[in-house]
Chain A
């Protein structure tokens, strides 16, 4: 019911906004996030309007990712001139580009001699660029990290965070056993296993750090020996080593994991970059006792981290494209990216911010982040990713719920993925 009313209201608002005639140089920017993030964006946009003489208008999007996507799809499918600019989750870009909703940025980049070398090539090439066209640029980059308790590792005689999954398991088993004498709720390793998109990011990290992959020659493969081994390892964390909480697959998302670690109930945590500031805030019981590192890997393979974050795109239907491009240049500039980092903790999409010596002194973790971004893996870049992800979530979660074996789960998943592919691949 509430949802129905929300949609109706959204529709009315949408009609109202689309009925307004825009004056010259006026454009809308759709951005979502936590309230204090949006407030900061408003400030940035006010600054921009004062400097440029253009009139950028911030439209606040809902907090939930799904709802942001929904509202964007409705406007773009209807070919509305609003929004002119919007932020996209990395996994939407391919679908948006193939739906012809995104203006290729090449001609503006060439015209202004704008250098894209400042961005991470690995990121631009994997998610922003298709068939030679650039459709989006990174504004905020997110990535999976290993958070660890320095004090506990030291207490039990370990000098550095674990490099391999085996080390992580050994250390977690030992420390969990000792710590549980004191704190019954203590867990060795917490990560996201509920049936939602975050599970796929975790799954991707586990399989790629076991030498597996999901995309191979443009095809999606779930059922490979390395992937089965990785899923079995995830299963073992719950049922064999018992270092991850038994409810990992039901309610555990980012915030549950963050709270548990922040309350001192976990040794290792896999989470996104946002958790750092929260863990280090006053009132956190782990303040000053934590470190971050790359996620571990299986012996003989390399560490990987799932890429998340928000990229800016321009609507194909925008009627003030030159001004919109000017705004893209503004938000991807060193100055703005630095401000976003310092004020709301958004990790810059630009490489040069990570090398700035003043910033490095102030925020030493930039060095590790830079390293991790260079080992990022992206989720499959296909327009029907949402369908593939939905199937993956179900089967991987079902395996973590101990209802199907890892091998069978991935075998069934492969069948499901083949079906989805057959439907959505153009013949």
Chain B
């Protein structure tokens, strides 16, 4: 009792809470409420043309019994793992290169941002033209170089479509990784490297002893952002394959979208809750194993 009184009688604490109030309110209204709303809707039969009914967890039972849902979960998780790892790998390389004093660095830093600045739907359309069977750039190059003597249907098999989607996504979002890592790199004092050089270390030693440990919190943040973003992948697939061939590239968000568009809000909400839980679990994992809090301290 006394302690609470103390907190609020303390003028400084009180104004701190006041300053935080707008953030807390907007987080409540725009994040917490919709999540709760979706959770509640997911327990109902909410179909436009049927009377509403409280179902307990039937929507979830139906979800777990649908092989196409599991297919979309598998696809999404595989996509997240492959694309995020590749993006981290390339992003790190680009960031390390751009952090060095190379000629034309300013131009390169801007150039590398271009894919990130293009709306996803448009870059997906561009990639669609690259992969196109008849007049796509890729088939043109393959034919000219004599690698293949017939046109290849890149999006025609499940694995082909998967790889095509991953390549497009890596091209699109590696710049994001690069920028965040570059920001992290620029905070590492140059003096450390100078000192290490005097001590006679080689490049790899400097990377693993200095760069990597100091960059780790930034890497965790970048991975966190990208993973949560990737798990909700929608627009790229919607434009590039529409979930085909034969539904093999349906992401969880696309799966949910199909139900929202057709007016089954209860089931669509249940799928969204699963996406939310998956993303939240991955975020917790990162924070836990990235020892995020400790490093920041």
- Using an 8 Å CB-CB cutoff, how does the interface string of A397-414 with B read, 1 for contact, 0 for none? 111110110000000000
- Using an 8 Å CB-CB cutoff, how does the interface string of B145-169 with A read, 1 for contact, 0 for none? 0000001010111100100000000
Instruction: Tell whether A106 is near chain B: CB-to-CB under 8 Å.
Output: no
Q: In the complex, what distance in Å separates the CA atom of A395 from the CA atom of B259?
A: 18
Instruction: Tell whether A336 is near chain B: CB-to-CB under 8 Å.
Output: no
Instruction: Give the residues in chain A near B260, CB-CB below 8 Å.
Output: 70
Q: In the complex, what distance in Å separates the CA atom of A397 from the CA atom of B133?
A: 17
Q: In the complex, what distance in Å separates the CA atom of A247 from the CA atom of B242?
A: 15
Instruction: Give the residues in chain B near A185, CB-CB below 8 Å.
Output: 134
Q: Contacts A2-B119, A245-B133, A247-B153 given: A426-B50 contact, CB under 8 Å?
A: yes
Q: In the complex, what distance in Å separates the CA atom of A342 from the CA atom of B225?
A: 53
Q: Give, as a whole number of angstroms, the nearest-CB distance from B209 to chain A.
A: 37
Instruction: Check if A2 sits within 8 Å of B262, measured CB to CB.
Output: no
Q: Give, as a whole number of angstroms, the nearest-CB distance from B248 to chain A.
A: 8
Instruction: Check if B245 sits within 8 Å of A251, measured CB to CB.
Output: no
Instruction: Give the residues in chain B near A397, CB-CB below 8 Å.
Output: 244-247
Instruction: Give the residues in chain A near B60, CB-CB below 8 Å.
Output: none
Instruction: Check if B133 sits within 8 Å of A246, measured CB to CB.
Output: yes
- Using an 8 Å CB-CB cutoff, how does the interface string of B241-258 with A read, 1 for contact, 0 for none? 111111110000000001
Instruction: Tell whether A394 is near chain B: CB-to-CB under 8 Å.
Output: yes
Q: Contacts A99-B48, A250-B155 given: A195-B244 contact, CB under 8 Å?
A: yes
Q: In the complex, what distance in Å separates the CA atom of A98 from the CA atom of B262?
A: 13
Q: Give, as a whole number of angstroms, the nearest-CB distance from A380 to chain B.
A: 13
The listed residue (B48, B68, B155, B246) touching A95 by CB distance below 8 A is: B48
Q: Contacts A3-B235, A386-B261 given: A247-B47 contact, CB under 8 Å?
A: no
Q: In the complex, what distance in Å separates the CA atom of A95 from the CA atom of B235?
A: 26
Q: Give, as a whole number of angstroms, the nearest-CB distance from A231 to chain B.
A: 13
The listed residue (B234, B235, B242) touching A196 by CB distance below 8 A is: B242
Instruction: Check if A251 sits within 8 Å of B128, measured CB to CB.
Output: yes
Q: Give, as a whole number of angstroms, the nearest-CB distance from B250 to chain A.
A: 8
Instruction: Check if A2 sits within 8 Å of B261, measured CB to CB.
Output: no
Q: Give, as a whole number of angstroms, the nearest-CB distance from B226 to chain A.
A: 13
Q: In the complex, what distance in Å separates the CA atom of A95 from the CA atom of B263?
A: 9
Q: Contacts A2-B235, A185-B134, A394-B247 given: A401-B156 contact, CB under 8 Å?
A: yes
Instruction: Tell whether B120 is near chain A: CB-to-CB under 8 Å.
Output: yes
Instruction: Check if B247 sits within 8 Å of A195, measured CB to CB.
Output: yes
Q: Contacts A2-B121, A394-B247, A398-B246 given: A424-B258 contact, CB under 8 Å?
A: no
Instruction: Tell whether A1 is near chain B: CB-to-CB under 8 Å.
Output: yes
Q: In the complex, what distance in Å separates the CA atom of A398 from the CA atom of B121?
A: 25
Instruction: Check if B49 sits within 8 Å of A383, measured CB to CB.
Output: yes
Instruction: Give the residues in chain B near A400, CB-CB below 8 Å.
Output: 245
In the complex, chain A residues 138-190 whose Cβ is within 8 Å of any chain B Cβ: 185
Q: Give, as a whole number of angstroms, the nearest-CB distance from A179 to chain B.
A: 16
Instruction: Check if A249 sits within 8 Å of B120, measured CB to CB.
Output: no
Q: Give, as a whole number of angstroms, the nearest-CB distance from B50 to chain A.
A: 6
Q: In chain A, what residue has the closest Cβ to B264? A: A387
Instruction: Give the residues in chain A near B245, CB-CB below 8 Å.
Output: 195, 249-250, 397-398, 400-401, 403
Instruction: Give the residues in chain B near A245, CB-CB below 8 Å.
Output: 133-134
Instruction: Tell whether A421 is near chain B: CB-to-CB under 8 Å.
Output: no
Instruction: Give the residues in chain B near A95, CB-CB below 8 Å.
Output: 48-49, 262-263
Q: In the complex, what distance in Å separates the CA atom of A341 from the CA atom of B156?
A: 38
Q: Give, as a whole number of angstroms, the nearest-CB distance from A319 to chain B.
A: 21
Q: Contacts A77-B48, A246-B133, A401-B157 given: A394-B68 contact, CB under 8 Å?
A: yes
Instruction: Check if A394 sits within 8 Å of B246, measured CB to CB.
Output: yes
Instruction: Tell whether A232 is near chain B: CB-to-CB under 8 Å.
Output: no
Instruction: Check if B244 sits within 8 Å of A250, measured CB to CB.
Output: yes
Instruction: Tell whether B105 is near chain A: CB-to-CB under 8 Å.
Output: no
Instruction: Tell whether B132 is near chain A: CB-to-CB under 8 Å.
Output: yes
Q: In the complex, what distance in Å separates the CA atom of A387 from the CA atom of B263?
A: 10
Residue among A69, A70, A251, A424 with the highest chain B CB neighbour number at 10 A: A251
Q: In the complex, what distance in Å separates the CA atom of A109 from the CA atom of B156?
A: 51
Instruction: Give the residues in chain B near A196, CB-CB below 8 Å.
Output: 242
Instruction: Give the residues in chain B near A423, CB-CB below 8 Å.
Output: 62
In the complex, chain A residues 172-223 whose Cβ is within 8 Å of any chain B Cβ: 185, 194-196
Q: Contacts A1-B120, A250-B153 given: A69-B261 contact, CB under 8 Å?
A: yes
In the complex, chain A residues 223-265 whose Cβ is within 8 Å of any chain B Cβ: 245-247, 249-251, 260
Q: In the complex, what distance in Å separates the CA atom of A77 from the CA atom of B161?
A: 36
Q: Contacts A397-B247, A401-B245 given: A247-B156 contact, CB under 8 Å?
A: yes
In the complex, chain B residues 248-291 whose Cβ is within 8 Å of any chain A Cβ: 248, 258-264
In the complex, chain B residues 32-75 whose Cβ is within 8 Å of any chain A Cβ: 47-50, 62, 68
Instruction: Give the residues in chain B near A401, CB-CB below 8 Å.
Output: 156-157, 244-246
Instruction: Check if B234 sits within 8 Å of A3, measured CB to CB.
Output: yes
Q: Give, as a whole number of angstroms, the nearest-CB distance from A232 to chain B.
A: 17
Instruction: Tell whether A73 is near chain B: CB-to-CB under 8 Å.
Output: yes
Instruction: Give the residues in chain A near B247, CB-CB below 8 Å.
Output: 195, 393-394, 397-398
Q: In chain B, what residue has the closest Cβ to A409? A: B246
Instruction: Give the residues in chain B near A424, CB-CB below 8 Å.
Output: 47, 50
In the complex, chain A residues 43-96 whose Cβ is within 8 Å of any chain B Cβ: 66, 69-70, 73, 76-77, 95
Instruction: Give the residues in chain A near B158, CB-CB below 8 Å.
Output: 403
Instruction: Check if B156 sits within 8 Å of A98, measured CB to CB.
Output: no
Instruction: Give the residues in chain B near A299, CB-CB below 8 Å.
Output: none
Instruction: Check if A247 sits within 8 Å of B48, measured CB to CB.
Output: no
Instruction: Check if B263 sits within 8 Å of A386, measured CB to CB.
Output: yes
Q: In chain A, what residue has the closest Cβ to B129? A: A251
Pick 23 A–B contacts, CB within 8 A, sort by A.
Answer: A1-B120, A2-B120, A3-B235, A77-B48, A95-B48, A98-B49, A101-B48, A185-B134, A195-B243, A245-B133, A246-B151, A246-B153, A249-B156, A250-B244, A394-B68, A394-B246, A397-B246, A397-B247, A398-B248, A401-B244, A403-B158, A403-B246, A424-B47
List the 6 shortest-distance A-B pairs measured between CB atoms, nearest first: A398-B246, A386-B262, A195-B244, A247-B133, A394-B247, A98-B49
Known pairs A98-B49, A397-B247 / 4 extra A-B pairs, C-beta < 8 Å: A2-B120, A384-B262, A393-B247, A397-B245
